Chains A and B, each alone.
Chain A
Amino acid sequence: MNYFFNKNGPLISTYFIIAIVFWLVFLIIIPQLYMLDLSFRPNLPPLLRGGPDDVHTLEHYKYFIFGSATSEDPYNYVDLGVFFNTFTTAIFVTILNLCFCYPIAFFMAKVATPKTSRLLIVSLIIPFWINELLRSFALRIIFAGEGVINNILVGTGLIDTGINFIAADIALYTGLTYAYILLMIFPLYNAIESLDTNQLEAAKDLGSSTFRTHWRIVIPHAKAGIASGCTMVFMLTAGALATPVVLSSPNTYWFTQLIYQWFNMNDNWSRGSAYSILLLTISVIFVLLMMRIFKVKIGEIVR
């Protein structure tokens, strides 16, 4: 501590410490702990808060599993379904994203000339200068019943009537995949780029096919980048709100939409908190799972 002060001077040191403490305590620890606490409390009108009824309870978590007391069903099929659907779709989108981004990242890192690869990076980044909501609406226009794609397909006579991409959730999958593409490409790119190109040539020289070179050399080398990209994309996809609101079919609910409803429309912050904690838990479980599957440490993922 003394060393830190001597090295940076009193002014900068104090600023650093205040900034870091503020960030950790006020922006991360207190809100999370508050939300955790709130999730175990009944939803009371402001006047009753802190009174004798304000006790810790599992009511919101029970509600998530069993539904309301007045319901006929033994379980809360709707919310559990949405939760499960969000989880599986997020995994699907993550895998789709990985399959889509791996060739691009490999091309940029090992095949393209530095100039081409810089150009590619720029053209990947520029669309993300536009707000996520606007990008989602743009995709909605492209995928709409009378949208660009349908017009082209019908116009060329490939199909007779337009396909309902939105009802089939194709628009949603595309939107979610596209929304976080950079967070997959860059960790992959960094990981693949650090691979010694001679290893690729050595494998080829020893008779390896392209597929096997990737399977045995590139992917094992890039696994930390793959795990990193997958966890980020999964978390952000599972936690996305704008894209599902704009692009999901009327029958598809995203779990974040439920959370939003509890907080904003039903004014039930406790239940919203409980649902948020559930989403957080599943995300953390997913990260741990990825670390187990790819046999990487947390330090490698966040690198």
Chain B
Amino acid sequence: MSADVELQNVSVTFGSFYAAKNVSVKIKQGEFFSFLGPSGCGKTTLLRAISGFLDPSEGKVLIGGQDMAGIGPNKRPTSLIFQNLALFPLMSVADNIAFSLEVRGVSKIKRRERADELLELIALSGQGDKKVHELSGGQRQRVAIARALAIEPEVLLLDEPLSALDLKLRQKMRTELRAIQKRVGITFIYITHDQGEALTMSDRVAVMNEGELEQVGLCDDVYDFPNTPFVATFVGENNAFYSKVISSDGETVKVESEGNVFIAKAGKIDEQNKHTFNKGDEVIMFIRPESIFINNQNNKLDNNFVAKLNTIEFEGNLKNIYLSINPNMNVRFSVPNAVDTSDLSQNKNVELTFSSEKAVVLPKGSLAVD
């Protein structure tokens, strides 16, 4: 069984502070949905409103079409996985997993059967009698998932459960979480500040900032067609060119920035509509570091500019190259490590090029990195 979750104009206030402001979103049945945002953006507040630990000050939470007002967390068809997992340290692994059955008066034998079944699901067969502290971080993670799944919830809520793991394990757990979600087929609502996690696992993401939804959409849509400057800079890396509109035909926009003229796509307002721009509008043009190339005869694209090289930063698979167009205007691009950069020396002027297809123009707004 799986249920959809709908938030209708949900606001949560603490005094005069809005932790969540007028959030409306519909999460489909069986979907892996992520709320992505910086810490303090209100995503955990929303999760607590869905799980029932917190009542929205305004608006409604509907699960499976049913209004959840006045229904406590122990009566909702949701299970929550906590950031620190909150496994019960004094109980065995099997007792942890079967706790939700124990409180429902299921017999000891049945409980054990179900625990063993779930231990198999999370590839920990035969470890039911261990104590929680005898398991590794990744194993605990899986036990927390099994414990949450034991009563077959319709919606599983996950509050940054991977944040305590180290990088390798986190990457492995992403794949596993996704696989578990496919196997059990229930709705997963995932909270994270890590865009990598959100983009790799989710069907759709909602980007949040200061209690409000900035954009809801498919992962590649959010990455390729950000609706706001915040989304453009929070999800992935981006270069922001503060510019003025020269002309616009609805689809493409010609802008001027620090003496350079660029052509770019007009950004979207939502999934259907695009922003309209008029001559002289103050805008930001965004171009991602991986979409900028060194200009040579083979790959001349429709936008070109020159910048002076500052530093080359080695990141393993990538090299990040920092340049400045002028003292106020920096730009960064990245090339795969395999690309030879030995002819780039400091203070050398480099000719760069990018496609107008990859550049997005949005009205001026606050960036994630400000």
A residues apposed to B, CB below 8 Å: 196, 198-199, 201-209, 212, 216-217, 220-221
Shortest Cβ distance from A158 into chain B, in angstroms? 39
Q: Is the CB of A204 within 8 A of B73?
A: yes
List, in ascending order, chain A residues with CB within 8 A of B209's CB.
none
From B73, B86, B148, A198 is in contact (CB under 8 Å) with B86
List, in ascending order, chain B residues with CB within 8 A of A216's CB.
88, 91, 99, 102
Given contacts A201-B53, A220-B90, contact A208 B84 (CB under 8 A): no
Q: Is the CB of A205 within 8 A of B99?
A: no
Interface string of B69-112 (1 = CB under 8 A from A): 00011110011101110111011000000011011100000000
Interface size grouping (class) on chain B: 20 to 34
Question: Looking at A198, A202, A221, which has the most chain B CB atoms within 10 Å of its CB?
Answer: A202
Q: Is the CB of A204 within 8 A of B82?
A: no
Shortest Cβ distance from B184 into chain A, in angstroms? 17
Q: Is the CB of A208 within 8 A of B90?
A: no
Interface of B is mostly: loop
List, in ascending order, chain A residues with CB within 8 A of B148's CB.
206
Q: With an 8 A cutoff between CB atoms, is B51 at the interface? A: yes
Known pairs A204-B53, A212-B103. 12 more at Cβ < 8 A? A199-B88, A201-B82, A205-B51, A205-B80, A206-B79, A207-B74, A207-B75, A207-B100, A207-B151, A208-B103, A216-B88, A216-B91
CB-CB nearest in chain B for A200: B86
Q: With an 8 A cutoff between CB atoms, is B147 at the interface? A: yes
From A199, A209, A220, A221, B103 is in contact (CB under 8 Å) with A209
Shortest Cβ distance from A191 into chain B, in angstroms? 13
Given contacts A201-B53, A202-B80, contact A207 B104 (CB under 8 A): yes
Question: Looking at B86, B90, B99, B148, which has the most chain A CB atoms within 10 Å of its CB?
Answer: B86
Shortest Cβ distance from A192 into chain B, in angstroms? 14
Q: Is the CB of B90 within 8 A of A204?
A: no
From A196, A208, A209, A220, B86 is in contact (CB under 8 Å) with A196
Q: Is the CB of B90 within 8 A of A221?
A: yes
Shortest Cβ distance from A22 into chain B, in angstroms? 42
From A206, A209, A220, B151 is in contact (CB under 8 Å) with A206
List, in ascending order, chain B residues with CB within 8 A of A199's CB.
86, 88
From B73, B87, B91, A205 is in contact (CB under 8 Å) with B73
Q: Is the CB of A208 within 8 A of B82?
A: no
Once the chains are docked, how many angstroms separate the CA of A209 from the CA of B99?
12
